[in-house]
Every structure is written in C-alpha cells, then in structure tokens.
Structure 1
Amino acid sequence: MMACSFWKFSTHLNSKCSSTVVNFVRHGHHLRGKPPAVARSLKQRLEEINYKDPSLHFRVDIGLPPPVFSRSKRLQERLKTIKAQRKNPELEKLARNQQLLIDLEATNKEWVNTSAFYHIKQIADHYGVYEHLFGDAYFLPVIHLALQFNKDEIKHPVYFGNVIKPLDAMGKPEVLYSSDEKSFWTLIMTNPDGHFTQQDKEYVHWFVGNIPGNKVEEGETVVDYLQPFPPRGTGYHRHIFILYKQEKKLDFSKLKKSGPCLNLEERTFSTLDFYRERQDELTPGGLVFFQSDWDSSLTDFYHNTLNMKEPVFEYDFPPPYIRPQEWFAKRKPFNLYMDKYRDPKQINKEFLMRKLKNVHPFKAPPPPLPFPNAVRFEGYVPSWLILEKRKSRLRWGRINDIE
C-alpha cells in the first residue's frame, strides 16, 4: 500500500491510495496573543495606562528661584584647582598609596551651594513627595534644611528618605537653616501615608509659624509636636518637613490647636489646601523627609498616650486554589498530594498524637538523633515515607506547629 502523509487530520481517498492518515501533533508551548514584534511592550502599556493630557496636567514650579551661577566662571575655578593639584607631587604620592583624604565637610558644602536642590528634587519625585502633597506642582528646595533627632546622646539626622524609628523620634527635632533675621518662616511636618479615616488627607505632626529668621524656638507653635506612630503591618510611612518663606507675618489662629492635641481627627491636614489658601503669602523653599515603621514602643504610645486600641493591619490571603483530584497523580509526593484534600484538623491531630506517644509524666523524652541523616531506614520504606521521616527527624515543616 502506498504511504501518504499530511500535516492535518484527514482521510485521503482516491483511486491510487485509500487509507486514513493521521498526522502527529506536537503538544508543547503555544504562543498566546500577538507575536512579540506586533504586541505592545510592557513599557508601552504602562505609558498608555498612565497617560495624562499635557494640556491639563503639567507641572508648575511654585518655589523660590534657584541661585544663578556662571558656568564659565565655575569651570575656570575648577581648572585652576586641577592645575594647582597637578603641580603638587605630594597629592599624587598619597593617591597612589591610597592615603589621600578628602574633606567631606567642604565637599558637602560645595554640593549644597551648587546642585543639591536639583538632586533633592529627583529624590523627592522618586518617593512621590510632590505628587502626594502638591499634585502637579513642585519646588526646588533651595534652602538647605538640616534636622536631627537627639535620643540618649545619639544624633539621628533627617536626610531624604532615611529610616528613623518612632522610639528615636519621640521628641521634636533640632532645626537649622540659614536666613535673614528680618524674614518669617513656617515649618510643617506631615505624614501623608497614615490617616485612618480619610485616604487623601494627612496627619500634621508639627506646625510652627511666624518663625523669626532661623530661631524656631521663638516661632508660634500652631500644633504641638507628635511623634511618628505608623501602625503595625502598614510598612514605611513618609514624614515630610517643608519650610515655607512668608511674605509677612500671618494669622494662623484658625489652624491653632490647644495643648498636646492627642485627638487624631483634629490633626487632619491637607498640604495642597493649606498652600492654595495662602499661595500669595508663603512659598516653599526647604524640604527633608524620613521614613518610619512600627516598633514595640508604639504599643504603650497608643494605649497610654493616645488612649486608644493599637491598630494592627494584616493581609487577608485568599484560600489557595486546589485543582481537582486526579486518580493517578504523576510526579507528586504521595503524602503531600493526599494531604491537600484532607481536613487540616485531622492532619494536626495525627501530628499531635505522634508527639504524645513520646510524652510520659515521669520519664524524659528520648533525646534527638545527633546525626539524623546518617541513620539508616530498616527494611523496605517507600520514597514518600522516607521523605516524611526525614522531615520529622530534621524538624522541618508542619511538625513545628504542634510545639
């Protein structure tokens, strides 16, 4: 009989060849969707999802003007410094021997006076500071703001996203910045991540207005300082300090809170609304922020200071998907596969009964094997039972749940 071959399932009947020919189908990976050359990339899809109309959404600079530097003059000064260093053989000798020391204070001072505000803006954009406080507005932090918390003679400086625990930020920080003595300033510390009842609101932790020059202690305390209190299970919270320059002395009597203000609802705040009402009277100029997450000291703070139950947030995981049971489960451990379809209480009961066999009111339990993997299994033991016994000897898995 003449052989015939086809790529599709077919029955070929003619005068020369009358036979049923079944082609071989390869059961493998099938490409779903459009091919890579035609389908959109992940970047293109994200850009399409996050697209904003530039005629409606555009960023506005609301800050102080940055200092203007002569680029040519800076390059000339840098060339002079480089030429002077090349003529110094001692510097080359120290550099080759890896003994050359750099003045970090002078380097930081030059960075602060030249390009620090551009770098800080990039960091703040990365953390979403401007977006979550001012919407489409931003500002360059041209005023160098230095803050640090002092706890048990240990200094905890605030930079741009570093982590400071609530225990280390219990007291208000020390604030330093350069300014004219005749000017007035406002310093506000808020948390945009921790409001319990309103999603788009913040908690104001500290509000000092009408600060004469850089004397923060002589300013008007509108809202007393309150330490960070990120609830357990919510991760890191941003705590942002913004320094505003005032055009004149302002009246903050409507925002002033009496006493320590331990009622969190009274500390509800919106930076965007606050700035919109006073955008002609103050301008943001300084910015630092830190992150803080839960620690054990907050349990006492919630109970005794805020006089409330400590909130604890947990993720409610959905139940795991278990596929329908098969008659012959290939390449799957027998015991683990069967345990998926059993009652967890029954499994825990079996482990508990196994443990109680070695419990005696007047005798100590048998000592554990010093080298569990070196002890042989006597007689014939199936592979799934070997795995179960080995896990029991090494105390792996579910056996630790019945301690």
Structure 2
Amino acid sequence: MAASMAKHLTNTVAIVNSCPHRLVSVRYATGLRRSKRKGKLPEFAKSFEQKIADLKLTSQTKGSSVNIGFPLTKTPLKDSQIRAVIRKNKTELQALVEDGKLSIDLDKVDDASWETNKKEHLRRLGEHFGVFRDLFGGAYFYPHIDLDISYDISEEEELPVYHGNLIEPSQTARVPSVQYEADSQSLWTLLMTAPDSHLQDNNAEYLHWLVGNIPGNDINKGELLCDYLQVFPVKGTGFHRYVFILFKQERKIDFKEDRLAPDSVSLRERTFSTFDFYKKHQDHMTPAGFCLFQSEHDESVRDVFWNKLGMKEPSFEFVFPVPYHPRQRKFPHRQPFNLYLDRYRDIKDIDEEVLREKLKTVHPFRQQEEIKYPMYQLKQEYKGNPMWLKVKKKNAVRKLMHWEDS
C-alpha cells in the first residue's frame, strides 16, 4: 500500500514538473486541489488592454514619471559643525557618543535635514494627497519655493496653510495672506483650486482665486483674473482639498482668455481644469510651489450658497443598501420571535414604536426623575411576564438594539 502511494505521488510530481505553464488538478484524499503553476484562469485573468481600460487611463494620466517643474537640487548645509558630523562614518560617531565628546543640538540637525530634503518630502506629500494625479495628470514637480499662506481670523490671530491641515470654511471668508521669496523683476502666477467640490463633474474643479503676472511677491500688483471666493464644501461629501499652486513665469503672459468677469460667482464660469490651464501656458510658466488645506462642511456654507452664489444649498446623504433578509418562514425554530419579526418590519414603524414608548415617560412640564436602580425596578414590575418581553424592556433601559439612539 505504501509502495503504491509513493509511486502515485512520484507520477504526480513528474506530471506537474512537465507542465510548468498549465493549471494541473492533483487528486488528494479530500478531493481535487488545483495547483497554480503560472497565471490565473482565463475568466479571472485580464489582458493588458483590459487592465488599462479598467484604470481609465487618458492622455492626462500617462505622464506619471514626467517632472514638469525645475530639476531637483539639494540645498547645501550651512552649519559647518553639522556638516562635519554628517561626514563622519557610523563607527566614529558611535565612539564620540560613548566618550561623551559629541555635543550637538538635535533641533539643529532636524532643521538641517529638513532644509536638505524638504523638496523630496513635499513632492511625496503632493503624491499622498493626490495633487499631481488630479491636477496635472500624474506628472509631478519639486516645490522650490516656500509658500507662506495664512488666513486672518482676527486682528491678533492667523491660521497658516501647510500641506493638508484642517481649516473650517468660516475661517476662509477673508482673502488669505500670501508671502514667498522672489526677485522683484520676476513674474509669477498664483492659483487656488478645489478638485473635490464640483457639483456635477467629478473630473472638474472650481476656481477660487487666480492672479497672474505678479511682479515679485506683491500679490496686490498682479493681474486679478478671478476674484477670491470662500470655500464651500457641501454637506455629506466629507473633506475637500483646496490647493494653492505657484507658477514661475518666463515672461509676461496674455491671460485674456482666462479672465473672469469681476465679482463673478457663477459656478459654471468658475468650472476649471488646472491641467488645461497649464497645458495652454506651459511654454511660458513652470510650477514652483504648492500648499493645501482640507475643509469640511459647517454652517457658514449655507450663507455662501444663499447670499453669494444665489442658490439653494445642496445636501448629500449616503444611501444605505437595503439589508438582505432571507424569505420569511412561518415557523422559525430556535429564533426569538419578536426579534425575528422585527427583521421584516419597516424601520419607520419600529422607530415610531420606540418614540411612543419613550413619550410615555416624558412629561412636558415636569423633570423626569432618575431611577436609582432601574434594573431592580424592572424585575419587580415585569415579574411573571414572558422572557421576550423582559429582554425587550431590558434593552430599552440599557439603550440597546432599537433604543440605542433614543
């Protein structure tokens, strides 16, 4: 018996090894087991064309490895002490640490490390938040210019914009303060866009602010192409990204086609595409810096829609799928009958029943007295009642099941 089993296994291994590119069925004591030597079944494997179609790659999403900005250059270390420490190998550093001869401020080391590698770090942040994917079709750039943007909340307090921090819509009512280091003879373009806020097209953006031909860092002297508009993330749509992009111009650009009417609040006119805007002017401008913040709906958004945009505030709610219940049986054995029947009732009827039970203990003019030992009183009150009713009342006292939010 053992000899025949060994012979059978030897033949099976020989068959598998002789068919490295096939799916071989091997018989075991428990049945058939499919050995995947290479690839998948035809009904599960997809061709390259099918995978590209699933990813919905377009002409905007094929340049993921293209640097459309300035080349990466590392900032040299200015501190000679830190530079000397970095040049030492690990053995020498370990010896200095053990002898207590290495004394250096770690904060200075962190600052120096950030200054040296911040361009690469900021590029990774841009990829993490999908800035390059959604605004430039996957092409990336290294931020060479540090954007210092902040919102003035009051006369003494300001809220800075970093790279993904949270800011409430009510705090963005005023035009932000923008600062960056630039030569007075240079020209720049500043853009603020919302890639997540469009109400009709998921691939479109809303333009919140656009200033072109900025001399140096004086935003007020630039050509205002689109007036600033407070952010308005719609209720029920989660967090929205709001991105500032700074472009370096090679010469003065004619933005006649990109200019919006003064004080325009039309969402149709503010429908925007950063990719198309950059594609139109790519010969004369280069992205040089960015920062962004996130925001979620608050009460100020309603005022923006009603008083600035002149429209009703839209609101979105998640539509939960209808829960699946098997076909109802006439005699469901080993099932608590009240809970079983509740599964096939309309949830509105259950909520109405819970509300009526709650209103029985609420008086409009008297404060409800808190029961010191509610479970003991419940036990005495429903003594002799069926178990299903006791469990139901316990859930009501403990705020479980249907009474969880009551």
Determine if the TM-score, normalized by the shorter chain, exceeds 0.5.
Answer: yes
Q: Does the C-alpha gap of structure 1 residues 35 and 228 become closer, same or farther in structure 2, counting only changes over 3 Å?
A: farther
Query: 1:294 pairs with 294, 297, 304, which one?
Result: 297
CA 1:111 to 1:355, structure 2 compared with 1: closer, same or farther past 3 Å?
closer
Q: Does 2:179 match 1:176?
A: yes
Secondary structure, aligned partner of 1:377:
helix
Report what 2:138 is aligned to: 136
Partner of 1:207: 210
The Cα shift of 1:76 comes to 4.2
Correspondence for 1:12: none
Amino acid at match of 2:275: L
In structure 2, how many angstroms separate the alpha carbons of the residues matched to 1:284 and 1:390? Answer: 64
1:16-55 Cα offsets, whole Å, 9 max, x none, are xxxxxxxxxxxxxx99996899897xxx99x9665979xx
Query: Which AA in structure 2 matches 1:65?
Result: P
Equivalent position to 1:393, from 382, 392, 397: 397
Structure 1 counterpart of 2:133, one-letter code: E
Q: Which amino acid aligns with 2:62?
A: H
CA contact (8 A) 1:372 1:394 kept: no
Other structure's SS at 1:61 match: coil
Match of 1:246 among 245, 249, 252: 249
Seen in structure 2, the aligned counterparts of structure 1 residues 35 and 91 have a Cα distance that, compared at 3 Å, is same
- Corresponding position of 2:9: none
Q: Which segment is superposed worse, 312-321 or 379-388?
A: 379-388
User: Is the CA contact (8 Å cut-off) linking 2:350 and 2:402 kept in structure 1?
Assistant: no
TM-score normalised over the length of structure 1 = 0.75
1:189 is the counterpart of 2:192: yes
How far does residue 103 in structure 1 lie from its aligned partner after superposition?
4.5
1:310 is matched with which residue: 310, 313, 320? 313
The one-character-per-residue Cα deviations of 1:293-333 (angstroms, maximum 9, x if unpaired) are 11111111211121110010112223221211234435543
Q: Is the 8 A contact 1:60 1:138 kept in 2?
A: yes
Residue pairs, 1:3-402, within 5 angstroms: 50=55, 57-58=62-63, 59-68=65-74, 76=84, 78-79=86-87, 103=107, 107-108=110-111, 111-112=114-115, 114-152=116-154, 153-330=156-333, 332-344=335-347, 347=350, 350-351=353-354, 354=357, 367-375=369-377, 377-378=379-380, 379-399=383-403
Percent of residue pairs identical? 38
**Structure 2 counterpart SS, 1:138:** coil
Please tell me whether the aligned partners of residues 230 and 304 of structure 2 are also in contact (alpha carbons under 8 angstroms): no
> Matched residues in 1 for 2:112 and 2:139: separation?
28
For residue 210 of structure 1, give the secondary structure of its aligned residue in structure 2. Answer: strand
> In structure 2, do the counterparts of structure 1 residues 355 and 122 end up closer, same or farther at CA, with 3 Å as the change threshold?
closer
SS in 1 for 2:71: coil
**What per-residue deviation string (whole Å, max 9, x for no partner) do you get for residues 253-304 of structure 1?**
2211232211111111111111111111001111111111111111112111
The amino acid of 1:373's aligned partner reads: M
Separation of aligned partners in 2, 1:215 and 1:366? 64
Helix, strand or coil: the match of 1:240? Answer: strand
- Counterpart-to-counterpart distance in 2, 1:70 and 1:353: 73
With normalisation by structure 2, the TM-score equals 0.75
Indicate if the aligned counterparts of 1:206 and 1:223 stay in contact, CA closer than 8 A.
Answer: yes
Deviations 1:64-90 (A, max 9, x none): 12225679x98646348x999959x99
Deviation at 1:171, TM superposition (A): 1.2
- SS state at 2:212 partner: strand
**CA spacing shift, 1:386–1:228, aligned 2, 3 Å:** same
Instruction: Name the counterpart of 1:24.
Output: none
Verify the 8 A CA contact 1:190 1:205 in the aligned structure 2: yes
- 1:92 Cα shift? 7.4
SS in 1 for 2:189: strand
Name stretches of at least 5 consecutive residues in structure 2 with no aligned partner. 1-29
Is contact 2:362-2:368 (8 Å) kept? Answer: no
How far apart, in 1, do the equivalents of 2:57 and 2:160 lie? 37
Q: How far, CA to CA, are the matches of 1:75 and 1:101 in structure 2? A: 13
Gaps of 5+ in 1: 1-29, 94-99
CA distance in 2, matches of 1:32, 1:297: 64
1:77 to 1:182, Cα distance in 2 relative to 1, 3 A:
farther
Shift of 1:367: 3.4
Cα pair 2:245 2:290 within 8 Å, conserved: yes
CA distance in 2, matches of 1:32, 1:302: 64
Letter in 2 for 1:125: E
For 2:328, give the aligned amino acid. Answer: Q
Q: Secondary structure at the match of 1:137?
A: coil
CA RMSD of aligned residues (A): 4.1
What secondary structure does 2:257 align onto? coil
1:265 counterpart SS class: coil
The code of the aligned residue for 1:166 comes to P
Q: What is the number of residues matched between the two proteins? A: 360
Kindly state the Cα deviation for residue 151 of structure 1 after the two structures are TM-superposed.
0.6
For the pair shown, which has the larger CA radius of gyration, 1 or 2?
1
